Amino acid sequence: MQRLWLTPMFRAGMRIGLPVFVVVLVGGIYLSDAARRAGAAEMFGALRGSVAESPIFMVELLSITGASPELADAVRARLDVKLPQSSLDLDLDAIREQAERLDAVQSAVVRLGAGNVLELQITERTPAWVWRSEAGLMMLDATGHRIAGLAERADRADLPLVAGQGADKAIPEAQAILAASPWAKRIRGLVRLSERRWDIVLDRDQRILLPAHDPVAAVQALASLDHAEDILSRDLIAVDMRNPDRPVLRLTPYALDVLRTQATAPEPQQ
């Protein structure tokens, strides 16, 4: 025994392993009876309940910051958190995920604050575009994420307009086109066609047809041409830039009649 006691593993087994084995053995024998297991579970449940319901763990209020009053009301309705409630019963990750499922919420941070307050910090999406689709008007952020519906275009006349199916998925490209256009004050909106290319709609019922690939370069080429020739001030219906190397001008009916008249008029005699 003296020789065994000099062995470190033997000493550790006697000091730690044997007591643990005895405790596990006694516990297993005690809990082998179903009635004892039920009693132990009930005892632990009552103990946890008494701890969870103590005033120090009870959450009394929900505070929402960073959101407009309308969005704050929508978040409260979506979460439907019943208060007062013990902080031990609150799933903060689930609350955050529920809040972020709202279209107008970009991100949310949930934490337990001082004074038994559940704090929810909201980062709200900023409207950047109005999208006209078959479903109606919808506000989008700078990434094309949907925010909320819009009753009238005039309600957000300060935002640029896009239209067409799939326009929401190409908002970054629309933003680049708008930034490269020197006719920003004349632009009424951008229309997405066949989910592959854009048309710029100007006032005076003029259109600029852009190619599916590298539309920004086509806009820049037309801007240079317009600066030199003042093309868009003429009687045009559209400028087709789908082939940037060969722009095609479509004249108004009146301009076509004038052009035909000039072409068929007899030359003055000398």
5 vs 19: CA distance, rounded Å: 17
| Burial class, 76, CB count within 10 angstroms (exposed 0-12 / middle 13-18 / buried 19+) | middle
Low-confidence winner among 129-143, 171-185, 246-260 (lowest mean pLDDT)? 246-260
Compute the mean pLDDT over every residue in the chain, rounded to the nearest whole number.
Answer: 86
Whether the predicted pLDDT of 51 surpasses 70: no
Q: For 155-180, what is each residue's pLDDT tens digit?
A: 999 999 999 999 999 999 999 999 99
Protein fold of 129-259: Rossmann fold (3.40.50)
Query: Range(s) for CATH 3.40.50.11690 in the chain?
Result: 129-259
The class of domain 55-124 in CATH terms is alpha beta
Whether the predicted pLDDT of 265 surpasses 60: no
Query: Range(s) for CATH 3.10.20.310 in the chain?
Result: 55-124
Question: 33-47: b or e for each residue (b if 16 or more CB lie within 10 Å)?
Answer: eeeeeeeeeeeeeee
* Global confidence as pTM: 0.71
Could you tell me the two tokens for 172?
């970054």
Q: Whose CA is closest to 215, among 192, 184, 187, 183?
A: 192
Q: Is the peptide bond before 253 cis (omega within 30 degrees of 0)?
A: no
pLDDT for residue 139: 96
